[in-house]
Amino acid sequence: MAGCYSFKGISIPPDVNTFYVDLFEDQSQASIPTLPRDFTEQLKDKIRRETRLSYNDVEPDIEFHGAITGFRVAAEAPKADQQIGFNKLTVTVRVEFINNKNEKANWKQQFSYEEFFEPDQNLLDVQDQLLETINKELIDQIFNRAFTNW
C-alpha cells in the first residue's frame, strides 16, 4: 500500500487519477423517471467530494456502469406480537466497476437496500425521503466496495 492515497479508510493507487460514471439505466420497470439520473449524479458527487479523483469521460482510469434493476414496494404482514404491518420500498442496483489500470480489480456486484414506511402512508408522500436514504446507503456500499478493496 506504500504510495497509495489514503483518506477516511479509503486507498487509491497513485496512478489512478480519473473516474467516469455512466448513466445508470432503469431496468426495473417500476421506478420513478428521475431515479437513474439522480442516482448517477449522487454517485459522481460522492466520488468528487471524498476522493482526489477528477471526473473524465475520455479514457478514465476507473469506470462505473450499472442499472437500477429493482424498485419494489411490498406490504409486510404484522408479526405475531404486533397489531399492524408496514410497507417497504426496496431498490436494487447492478454495478460494474472497471479499473483500466488494473484488470484484476474489476468487479460486478448487485446492491440492495430497503426502507420501511407506515401502512397508512402513501408512497408518493414519502418517496423522496425514502429514496434519499436508500440512495445514500447504496452509494456508500458501492463507494466502499470500490475504494476500500485495493
Q: Domain range for residue 21?
A: 9-145
Q: Which mean pLDDT values do the consecutive 10-residue runs of the chain (150 residues) have?
A: 49 94 94 95 97 96 98 82 80 98 96 93 93 98 86
**Position 4 in a domain:** no
The pLDDT assigned to 126 comes to 95
CB burial of 109-134 (b: ≥16 within 10 Å; e: otherwise) equals: eebbbebebeeeeeeeeebeebbeeb
Give the position of cell 492515497. Answer: 5
**Position 40 in a domain:** yes
**Position 64 in a domain:** yes
- Which secondary-structure segment (H or E) carries 81? none
Give the position of cell 423517471. Answer: 33
> Position 142: which residue type?
I
The pLDDT assigned to 77 comes to 76
**Position 1 in a domain:** no
The pLDDT assigned to 3 comes to 41
SS3 102: coil
Give the position of cell 482510469. Answer: 61
**Position 150 in a domain:** no
**Position 130 in a domain:** yes
**Position 108 in a domain:** yes
